[in-house]
Each structure stands twice: as structure tokens, then as C-alpha cells.
A and B are shown apart, each in its own frame.
Chain A
Amino acid sequence: MQEEYRGNAAHVAVGLEAWEVHSAMAQYNVTLVAPSFATVGAFGGFMAGGGHSTLVSYHGLGSDQVLSLNVVTADGSFVTASPAVNSDLFFALRGGGGSKFPPLLYLPS
């Protein structure tokens, strides 16, 4: 079974382009797996579609970083999607492609 993750995590909003995430990484001295190209939506299509970057050999894909997602679904409810709760939605949002649901934020490692 999956071990529970213990360690640093970041709470990040979607709607950020990669250059904004890069600025925040410098400001807070953390590393997040984010797109290399400045205007790609970091936790929109990048995370939702897989997320290849220059760090993929070290840390894996962008979608592999996510611990949990807070999402507004098409029926208007605000839910958490994680391995424990709404796990099918959690699976679909990480790599299933963009233009599905609008995630509001999540916790990558």
C-alpha cells in the first residue's frame, strides 16, 4: 500500500503561468516541478496533461508531484480529490488532459 507522504509541500493556486511559479520558487526558496517554458500554465494543462520538464529524470512528471487537489466540479460542488477521497477524479485530473474540470489548487511535493 502507498505510504503516507511526510515532508515539504506547497499549496498552489492554478491560473499561474510558469514564470510566476519560477518567481515564487525564488522568493520562497523551494523547488516545484513546473514547465520550462515561461507562459505555460503550470498547474493547468501542464499538470493535467502529464507535465514534462527538464527535471523529469530526477522528479518525474508534473502530474506525479500532486498530493491532493481542491476542485469545483461540473455540478457546482467544491471537493477534495486525493488518493483517499474521490480517487477516480484524482486519477483523471493528473494526466487525463486539460479542459475537464477547473482545479483551484493543490499540494505538490
Chain B
Amino acid sequence: MLATLLGLAIASHSNGPKFGYETVELTPDDVGSFSAIGPSTAPSPETSSRPGLKASCREFPGTNDWPSEVEWKWLNASLGGVLLKPVPAAAACYPGPYHDAVKCTSMASGQTISKAYFDDPLALSTMWTAGNSCPVTVTERPNGDCTQGGFPVFVVNATSVKQVQIAVNFARNRNLRLVIK
């Protein structure tokens, strides 16, 4: 989900040129009153007021402190609308609202090739390396099911430094697990 730009510059000292996306940084005006996307204001998880919970435990959907729908909407607004909520690509192979036989067949033929997942917001390479909670299957009535499993629930399609900063801050301040593709 990081930008994939390549530029060439001739530089003779360390203050080099910057890509356009590097010049858009997070400012206090951007944060406003939505402090979760700014520098740390809350105590760190190590000093959390939740007794009995290890500092290494993160929030996930269903925990008390998982961000609310409203907060996810605010986050999306602060990011300029690039917050995604993707399902695993192989959901196309299972009955339900994402079923797509054509997509499933094309996935089945390319599923061992990591380039097939290059642009998929959830998958790092092939699907099985991430726990295989939604395996590609071409049978009409699959035996197993397709779940989000360990895949991220939300994805920030970041193309600027500011969006990366917001994502890092939000994950840190709200004690969420952050993975980077």
C-alpha cells in the first residue's frame, strides 16, 4: 500500500530532492480535535489503566476499545477517503455477496504466482502465507469457508507521507496491530 514511484535525481549532498508525496506532511491543523491521528497524548499501552492485560495485547474487532464506526469514518475523512475495508480476494469462490465465478477461475490458475497478488490490499504474496483463512477453491460447494482470519480489517491505501503518519499515529494511539505492505 505504499507508493511505487521511482525517480532519478543527481545529488551531491544529503539534502536531496523529494518526491511530491514526500512534501505532504501531517500538520497540527490536520489533526484538529481528532487527537488519535496526532502525536501520542494517551498513556502508552505499557502504562494502560486496564489491569490484568499484557501490554502486548492489541485491540481487535470485538474488544471493548476497538475504534467505533464513527472513529473509522473520521479516520477515513482525515485520510482523504482512502480507507479500504477489503475482503480476501478468494471470497469470489464462495457463495455470498462477493461470489464471482470468473474471478475465482482466474485466481485458481494464478494463485501460486505472487505477482497475482501484487495489487491486492490484503495479501502480501500468495494467500496461504497469511494463514489461508480463505483458500481458493473451484468446487461449486466448498467444504470450508472464507473468513477474514488474520488479514487486516481496514487498509489505508497510502500515497503520501501524511497518510502514512496518520495511519501510524492512529494505530499507536488506539493500540491496534499495524502491518505494512
Task: Report the minimum CB–CB distance from A27 to chain B (whole Å).
Answer: 9
Task: Report the minimum CB–CB distance from B43 to chain A (whole Å).
Answer: 14
Question: Are A68 and B16 closer than 8 Å at their CB atoms?
Answer: yes
Question: Are B19 and A76 closer than 8 Å at their CB atoms?
Answer: no
Question: Are A11 and B161 closer than 8 Å at their CB atoms?
Answer: no
Residue A13 interfacial (CB < 8 Å): yes
> Mask for A76-99, Cβ within 8 A of B = 1, else 0?
111010111100000000000000
Indicate whether A76 sits within 8 Å of B6 (C-beta atoms), given known contacts A70-B18, A102-B180: no
Task: Report the minimum CB–CB distance from B143 to chain A (whole Å).
Answer: 31
Residue B2 interfacial (CB < 8 Å): yes
Within 8 Å by CB of B161, from A8, A21, A74, A78, lies A78
Chain A residues whose CB sits within 8 angstroms of the CB of B161 once the complex forms: 72, 78, 104
Residue B57 interfacial (CB < 8 Å): no
Question: Are A15 and B3 closer than 8 Å at their CB atoms?
Answer: yes
Within 8 Å by CB of B165, from A14, A15, A72, lies A72
* Interface size, chain B (Cβ < 8 Å): 35
Question: Are B10 and A104 closer than 8 Å at their CB atoms?
Answer: no
Question: Are B22 and A70 closer than 8 Å at their CB atoms?
Answer: yes
Question: Are B22 and A104 closer than 8 Å at their CB atoms?
Answer: yes
Among B1, B118, B164: residue with most chain A CB under 10 A: B164
Residue B176 interfacial (CB < 8 Å): no
Question: Are A30 and B12 closer than 8 Å at their CB atoms?
Answer: no
Indicate whether A15 sits within 8 Å of B2 (C-beta atoms), given known contacts A76-B26, A104-B164: yes
Indicate whether A24 sits within 8 Å of B115 (C-beta atoms), given known contacts A39-B125, A72-B164, A72-B168: no
- Residues B82-121 near A (CB distance < 8 A): 114-115, 118
Question: Are A39 and B6 closer than 8 Å at their CB atoms?
Answer: no
Task: Report the minimum CB–CB distance from A99 to chain B (whole Å).
Answer: 8
- Residues A1-32 near B (CB distance < 8 A): 4-17, 20-21, 24, 28, 30
Question: Are A68 and B14 closer than 8 Å at their CB atoms?
Answer: yes
> Mask for B1-40, Cβ within 8 A of A = 1, else 0?
1111111111111101111001001100000000000111
Residue B169 interfacial (CB < 8 Å): yes
Known A8-B10, A102-B168; further 10 A-B contacts with Cβ < 8 A: A5-B12, A11-B18, A13-B3, A13-B5, A15-B2, A72-B168, A77-B39, A80-B14, A82-B14, A104-B22
Residues of B bordering A, CB below 8 Å: 1-14, 16-19, 22, 25-26, 38-40, 114-115, 118, 125, 161, 164-165, 168-169, 172, 180
Q: Can you list 11 A-B contacts with CB-CB less than 8 angstroms, sorted by A residue number?
A: A9-B9, A9-B11, A11-B16, A12-B6, A17-B118, A21-B6, A39-B115, A78-B25, A82-B14, A104-B2, A105-B19
